[in-house]
Structure 1
Amino acid sequence: MSNVVRRNTQSTRLPKAYAYFCLYFGLLALALICLAWSPFALIFQALLPEQRARSIGRRGITQSFRLFLWILSGLGACRFDLSELDQLRDAGPMILAPNHPSLLDAVMVISRLPNIACIMKAELMGNLFLGAGARAAGYIPNKSPRAMIKAACRELGQGGQLLLFPEGTRTVRPPINPLVPATGAIARLAKVPIQTIIIETDSPFLAKGWPLFRCPDMPLHYRVRLGKRFDPPGDTQAMAATLEHYFANTLAEESPLG
């Protein structure tokens, strides 16, 4: 069984023409939101002390993503259940380790948690839509593993939380890809727990290989719930195997969505 847990039934689907409108309007809205935030992110990063700029930058991204999800919900295109994430807001430094079925995963998590440093693809740091905001927020590029781990440990040591997808990319072999050892390595060095996060959806929309402008059946349903929390490991390879086993078993269970 994959992360896709239940298909929309014909009786509840949006008309296809309206679904296409939701798709293109949603993409346009996200682009405009990101572009609107970018000048402010650049100004804050240039004029404010680093820690202050990062705090404002992260809250700006949280509010931007929250607005985007609100628009999708208002259109009736998506239904989100993200409330369990609120329990982590004041939970202290830890690694947040979700499974990764779609491109919306980081958006959903960040929309609820305003003190996150996100590890992201290095090429996105120069992206027109995402780059300025990501740099102002102090997000961490994955270009150099050693520099990435060092920056992640520094962030956790300062009391922040780290969003890291332990698969390293979106899921291509359901229910979970083989996990990379970076999650356990950072947790061991920083001496912080790993909080697993289970992301469930009823659609393969924006999964690996899904074309950006391919319209899915709507509405889409997403639920994000908290999984098991693991103590800092002593053996990073063993931790990767433990996490992979946990995700595989949990995602194979009957989903609360269905």
Structure 2
Amino acid sequence: MTCYQHINKAWRIFATGFNFALFGFGGLALTFIVFPLLTFSLKDNLERELKVQKIIQRSFAFFCASMRFTGAIDYRFDDEALLQQDKNCIIVANHPSLIDYVLIASRLEQCDCLVKEAIWHNPFMKGVVKSAGYIPNTAVENLIDDCSKRLDDGNVLLIFPEGTRTAPGNSSKLQRGAAQIAIKTKTELRVIHISVTPPFLTKQKKWYQVPDVKPFFHLQVKDKIAIKPFIEEGGAPSVAVRKLNKHLDDVLFRSGNR
């Protein structure tokens, strides 16, 4: 690398660390200061959660803008306006990076999310996810009912079917949770495909292991997947789930752009 490239990489390490510190302290500030101040007068639990989710959207939008402004990353959404139309919808996306959820949620004033157990034990995030009313993916016996209730209210539910970040170059394997929820609740799915070039904030690397060039996140909002054909053609629910999961795999990882 040239001298300029070394300086640029060093700056991006600093910028990434700064923004991660901002995110961590921001999570604590939201939990203990912002949420109580702005929602104390709301008695209805659902109304309070929707207010919190709007605050999260604005906070995440600020964080993403900070990451871009400081040069840590760049990103682009294609067909972002489609997301604003979605109600009573499941959003599914692949999961190459740590901040995929943050990027997507920064564009949605209302966004429920299935959250893995580790987040509920993260000191910087557990207060945020609890206040937002996010759904833990550990209570399997109540999961479908919880998701169904949110969707019946017209909410948008974000799910990463891989369950965790997938390493670059490794074949991705989808869990069946998203397909099962979609089939059992008869809910359409909105697909978002995320690519990161070069790979960044993967599961295998630490935050300070930045690539030699600035990472670019490309988020493509794709067409909806109708569920009715899978239910009608699948026969048994388990068959419909399997066929839908295979289709999701093709859309997210095999077919590339629309």
Q: Following the alignment from structure 1 to structure 2, what is the Cα–Cα distance between the partners of residues 197 and 178?
A: 16
Tell me the equivalent position of 1:26. Answer: 19
Tell me the equivalent position of 2:66. Answer: 71
Report how far residue 98 of structure 1 moved. 0.5
Tell me the equivalent position of 1:245. Answer: 250
Report how far residue 68 of structure 1 moved. 0.6
Tell me the equivalent position of 2:237. Answer: none
Equivalent AA in structure 1 for residue 48 of structure 2: A
Q: Following the alignment from structure 1 to structure 2, what is the Cα–Cα distance between the partners of residues 100 and 176?
A: 12
Residue 121 of structure 2 corresponds to residue 126 of structure 1: yes
Q: Following the alignment from structure 2 to structure 1, what is the Cα–Cα distance between the partners of residues 46 and 5?
A: 47
Q: Following the alignment from structure 1 to structure 2, what is the Cα–Cα distance between the partners of residues 140 and 23?
A: 29
Tell me the equivalent position of 1:139. Answer: 134
Change (3 A) 1:45 1:95: farther
Q: Following the alignment from structure 2 to structure 1, what is the Cα–Cα distance between the partners of residues 251 and 77?
A: 21
Superposition CA RMSD, Å: 2.6
| Pairs within 5 Å for 1:41-120 | 41=35, 44=39, 48-82=43-77, 84-120=79-115
Select the residue among 206, 211, 215 that pairs with 1:211: 206
Report how far residue 14 of structure 1 moved. 6.0
Select the residue among 209, 228, 236 that pairs with 2:241: 236
- SS of aligned partner of 2:112: strand
| Pairs within 5 Å for 1:180-191 | 180-191=175-186
Q: TM-score, normalised by structure 2?
A: 0.86
Q: Following the alignment from structure 2 to structure 1, what is the Cα–Cα distance between the partners of residues 241 and 140?
A: 15
Q: Following the alignment from structure 1 to structure 2, what is the Cα–Cα distance between the partners of residues 135 and 46?
A: 18
Unaligned runs of 5+ in 1: 1-8
- SS of aligned partner of 1:149: helix
- The 8 Å contact of residues 180 and 241 in structure 2, kept in 1 or not, is answered as yes
Comparing 134-143 with 19-28, greater Cα deviation is found at 19-28
Aligned-pair identity in percent equals: 25
Unaligned runs of 5+ in 2: 232-239
Tell me the equivalent position of 1:3. Answer: none
Change (3 A) 1:248 1:16: closer
Aligned residues, how many?
246
Q: Following the alignment from structure 2 to structure 1, what is the Cα–Cα distance between the partners of residues 186 and 195?
A: 29
Tell me the equivalent position of 1:222. Answer: 217
Question: Bigger relative contact order, structure 1 or 2, given CA contacts below 8 A and separation 6+?
Answer: 1
Which structure: larger Rg? Answer: 2
- SS of aligned partner of 2:79: helix
Report how far residue 91 of structure 1 moved. 1.9
Report how far residue 173 of structure 1 moved. 6.5
- SS of aligned partner of 1:228: strand
Q: Following the alignment from structure 1 to structure 2, what is the Cα–Cα distance between the partners of residues 130 and 97?
A: 21
Report how far residue 198 of structure 1 moved. 0.7
CA offsets 1:201-239 (integer angstroms, 9 cap, x no match)? 102211121123323334221111112321123210111
- The 8 Å contact of residues 93 and 252 in structure 2, kept in 1 or not, is answered as no
Equivalent AA in structure 1 for residue 247 of structure 2: T
CA offsets 1:46-78 (integer angstroms, 9 cap, x no match)? 963111111111011111111111111111221
CA offsets 1:66-108 (integer angstroms, 9 cap, x no match)? 1111111111221111253332123211110101101110000
Report how far residue 42 of structure 1 moved. 5.1
Report how far residue 20 of structure 1 moved. 2.0
Tell me the equivalent position of 1:6. Answer: none
